[in-house]
Amino acid sequence: MNVIYAAATGIMFALGVFQLLRRDMIKSAMGFYILFTAINLFFFAVGAFNGQVPAYSQNLPKGQPSDPMVQALILTAIVISFGSYAILLGLIAKSARRYRTADLDTLNHLKG
**Shortest distance in whole angstroms from residue 65 CB to other proteins:** 6
Q: Does 18 bind other proteins (CB under 8 A)?
A: yes
Residue 110: CB atoms within 10 Å: 12
Q: How is residue 62 annotated by DSSP?
A: S
Instruction: Return left, alpha or beta for 59; rule: phi > 0 is left, psi -120 to 50 is alpha, else beta.
Output: left
**Shortest distance in whole angstroms from residue 54 CB to other proteins:** 5
Instruction: Return left, alpha or beta for 49; rule: phi > 0 is left, psi -120 to 50 is alpha, else beta.
Output: beta
Q: Does 48 bind other proteins (CB under 8 A)?
A: yes
**Shortest distance in whole angstroms from residue 105 CB to other proteins:** 7
Q: Does 29 bind other proteins (CB under 8 A)?
A: yes
Q: Does 112 bind other proteins (CB under 8 A)?
A: no
Q: Does 62 bind other proteins (CB under 8 A)?
A: no
